Amino acid sequence: MRLTEEERAMLAGTEGPAVQKAMQIIVALAEIYEAVELVPVASAQIAGVSYKNLGDAGLEFLEEWAALGARACVPAFMNPAGMDLERWREMGIAPTFARQQQRVVETLGSMGVALTCTCTPYLVGYVPQAGEHLAWSESSAVSFANSVLAARSNREGGPSALAAAITGRTAAYGLHLSENRGPTHVIEVRCPVRSEADFGALGYLVGLQVADGVPYFRFRGEGSLDRVPNQERLMALGAAMAASGAVALYHMERVTPEARRGVALGTVLRVDDAALPTIDVSDLSEGYAALNSPLDEIDFVSLGCPHSTLADIDRVATLLDGRRVRATLWITTSRQVRSLAEQRRLVERIEAAGGKVFADTCLVVAPMEEMGFKAMATNSAKAAFYSPTHSGLERRFGTTEQCVEAAITGRWTGSSDHLGA
Ligand code: F3S
């Protein structure tokens, strides 16, 4: 493997033990993945922020690295934590958990990692340029950066993303290389895909079938796109595929940048190659069926996975106007988007109806299993996919409108069939 003079010096410890340790991690990964060189990264997104996932061993690992003098040398920012850093008591978080969670974010903050606590850094000012190399780690963020923004990132682990932040480098393998960014499967969508939930169900089904591949979506016949999918729909699609199939990059005909300008952006597109397997999707009901438990009563509704956009919050505020929720309703988002929603009085309207708009966290990384909820409704295929294993919750999965209705009535009345969405 080729290392520059500067990289060799980092590995030899010339820049101190914290940088040396980071470079050892990067070089070990480069060797495992047979990278021939490292590439400079424009930014790093650090997962493994929730104390629920890190535990004491993870916290000590971070504190030891920080004590060695570790410091990010490129823009670096945090994934969601296990709680709203200000309103954790309202979430029902135990003080012992809150103390340890605070230590995690303070430790990362002391290393120069920005306190974004979001999986949508691209909504709060960290928007990568096409072709930039990144070391991002949250799977939906990686999918969005690769697919919608045409930046280049593998799905890093928390420690390797932090090592990349400290050295400014990552190993050049996988999706950093043009030859690995072409499609592996063509997906012919032949049914209507009308809502974010439909895009989530589609992503869930495709992820299962292409596992770790690069799908190229074409919409045909009944599935023709009447308009370019908005960012919320693309986020839902990517998050679901990342959950069910570890898909970190997809293309969409006439929509995503590498599908439109692949050659100009360096991606090798071979869509018309007869050798590419083609998958027809003509019905989403199997996806809805797999992500719905047979529940009637709902005690918890979660919206905001990936973290809600301002448009998402606006929609919920409108649906709730003049009404009152019976179930617990959480909308999770970044602190910056929450603050914009506050300025527009959207948070006030939602909270007047009994809902909560929490920042910094989400239901998958918060310690939900300690809060006594049993049955959740969500508009996120990713949240529905993970909730039984990560949050101890059975779930209903449907549109935002169905979920808000469930929050108001405490019952799931919507059809789980996308045609009724
Ligand atoms: Fe984001 Fe949490 Fe969902 S990190 S994508 S809101 S699981």
In this predicted model, what pLDDT tens digit does every residue of 193-220 receive, in sequence order?
Answer: 999 999 999 999 999 999 989 999 999 9
How far is ligand 1, taken at its centre, from the CA of residue 386, in Å? 10
Residue nearest to atom 2 of ligand 1 (CA): 362
DSSP string, 209-230: HHTTS-EEEEE-GGG--SS---
Residue 91, Cβ neighbours under 10 Å: how many? Answer: 19
How far is ligand 1, taken at its centre, from the CA of residue 274, in Å? 36
d(CA 64, CA 54): 14
Confidence of residue 30 (pLDDT cuts 50, 70, 90): very high
Q: Which of 52, 204, 234, 305 to mutate to test the pocket of ligand 1 (most atoms within 8 A of CB)?
A: 305
pLDDT recorded at residue 421: 38
d(CA 87, CA 238): 29
Q: Is the pLDDT of residue 416 over 50?
A: no
Ligand 1 site residues, Cβ closer than 6 angstroms: 79-80, 119, 138, 140, 239, 305-307, 362, 364-365, 382
How far is ligand 1, taken at its centre, from the CA of residue 282, in Å? 28
Q: Which of 78, 116, 119 to mutate to test the pocket of ligand 1 (most atoms within 8 A of CB)?
A: 119
pLDDT recorded at residue 231: 95
Pairing status of strand 251-252 against strand 215-219: parallel
Q: Give tens-digit pLDDT for 284-315.
A: 999 999 999 999 999 999 999 999 999 999 99
Q: Which of 46, 330, 362 to mutate to test the pocket of ligand 1 (most atoms within 8 A of CB)?
A: 362
Q: Which atom of ligand 1 is nearest to the CA of 386?
A: 7
Of the candidate ranges 106-110, 232-236, 264-268, 389-393, the one whose mean pLDDT is the lowest: 264-268
Q: Which of 116, 312, 361, 365 to mutate to test the pocket of ligand 1 (most atoms within 8 A of CB)?
A: 365
Contact 119, 144 (CB under 8 A): no
How far is ligand 1, taken at its centre, from the CA of residue 361, in Å? 8
Q: What is the mean pLDDT of residues 49-64?
A: 97
Residue nearest to atom 4 of ligand 1 (CA): 119
- How does DSSP classify residue 399? -
Q: Which atom of ligand 1 is nearest to the CA of 141?
A: 5
Contact 144, 124 (CB under 8 A): no
pLDDT recorded at residue 283: 95
How far is ligand 1, taken at its centre, from the CA of residue 139, in Å? 9
Residue nearest to atom 5 of ligand 1 (CA): 306
Q: Give tens-digit pLDDT for 331-369.
A: 999 999 999 999 999 999 999 999 999 999 999 999 999
Q: Is the pLDDT of residue 191 over 50?
A: yes
Q: Average pLDDT over the chain, rounded to whole? A: 94
- How does DSSP classify residue 250? -
Helical residues (DSSP H) of 111-230, grouped into ranges: 139-147, 158-167, 196-210
Q: What are phi and psi of 394, to 5 degrees?
A: -75, 160
Q: Give me the count of residues in the chain.
A: 421
d(CA 156, CA 120): 16
Pairing status of strand 185-189 against strand 215-219: parallel
Q: Which tokens belong to 221?
A: 């016949």
How far is ligand 1, taken at its centre, from the CA of residue 17, in Å? 33
How far is ligand 1, taken at its centre, from the CA of residue 6, in Å? 36
CA distances from 213 to 127, 183, 241, 276 (A): 24, 8, 10, 11
Residue nearest to atom 6 of ligand 1 (CA): 305
Q: Give tens-digit pLDDT for 219-228.
A: 998 888 878 8
% the chain with pLDDT above 70: 95
Residue with tokens 């980092």: 10
Residue nearest to atom 7 of ligand 1 (CA): 364
Q: Give tens-digit pLDDT for 80-116.
A: 999 999 999 999 999 999 999 999 999 999 999 999 9
pLDDT recorded at residue 322: 95
Contact 166, 272 (CB under 8 A): no
Contact 198, 418 (CB under 8 A): yes
How far is ligand 1, taken at its centre, from the CA of residue 304, in Å? 8
